[in-house]
Amino acid sequence: MKIAMGSDHGGIHLKNHIKQFLEEKGYEVIDHGTYTEDSCDYPDFAEKVCKDVVNGESGAEKGILVCGTGIGISMAANKCKGIRAALVADVFSAKMAAEHNNANVICMGERTTGVGLAEMMVETFLTTPFAGGRHQRRIDKIMALEE
C-alpha cells in the first residue's frame, strides 16, 4: 500500500519517524514535505497530500499529516474535497476513524504525541477495515455536505 505523508516544520520529526517506520514495514511512502526545519505553512502540505489521495495519481490510498498539534493541518485537510481527515491522539480513535468513519487521512501532533503511540495509531489506522453497513449511510451524508 502507498501512503502519502506531509507535515509542516512543527511535525517534521514525527513525520520522518513515521515514514521510516512504515518503510520498514514494507509500505511505500510518498513524502510531500516539508523537508527542512524552516518555518512553513501547514495548509500547503495538507493540500499536497489530500490532492494526492483524492486524485490517486501516485497510487496513494491513504494519507498521514503531522503538525505541532495536528489541529491546523486537520482543519486544512477537511477543506479538501473528498477528504475525511481524523485528528487522532489515541489508538481507539485511530481504529474507529477507519472502522466507522472510513477516514482516508489521519492527522496527529508532534508536540502532543509520543513516537510509540504514533506508531500504534498509524498501524491500527492502516490495518483496520471499514465496517460499512450503517456507517456507509453516514459517510454518504458527510460527503453530501461538500455540495
* Residue 43 main-chain phi, psi, to 5 deg: -60, -30
Work out whether 89 is an interface residue with ligand RB5 (CB under 6 A).
Answer: no
By CB under 6 A, which span of 13-21, 65-73, 85-93, 122-130 interacts with ligand RB5? 65-73
Which listed residue (10, 29, 46, 65) binds ligand RB5 by CB under 6 A?
10
In the annotation, is 67 catalytic? Answer: yes
Work out whether 14 is an interface residue with ligand RB5 (CB under 6 A).
Answer: no
In the annotation, is 50 catalytic? Answer: no
82 vs 115: CA distance, rounded Å: 29
Considering only residues 15 through 54, tell me which ones interact with ligand RB5, judged by CB under 6 A: 42
Work out whether 67 is an interface residue with ligand RB5 (CB under 6 A).
Answer: yes
Cell of 93: 480513535
144 vs 5: CA distance, rounded Å: 26
CB of 8 to ligand RB5, least distance (A): 5
107 beta partners: 65, 87
Three-class SS state of 109: strand
CB of 109 to ligand RB5, least distance (A): 6
Work out whether 68 is an interface residue with ligand RB5 (CB under 6 A).
Answer: yes
Q: Where in the sequence numbering do the catalytic residues fall? A: 67, 100
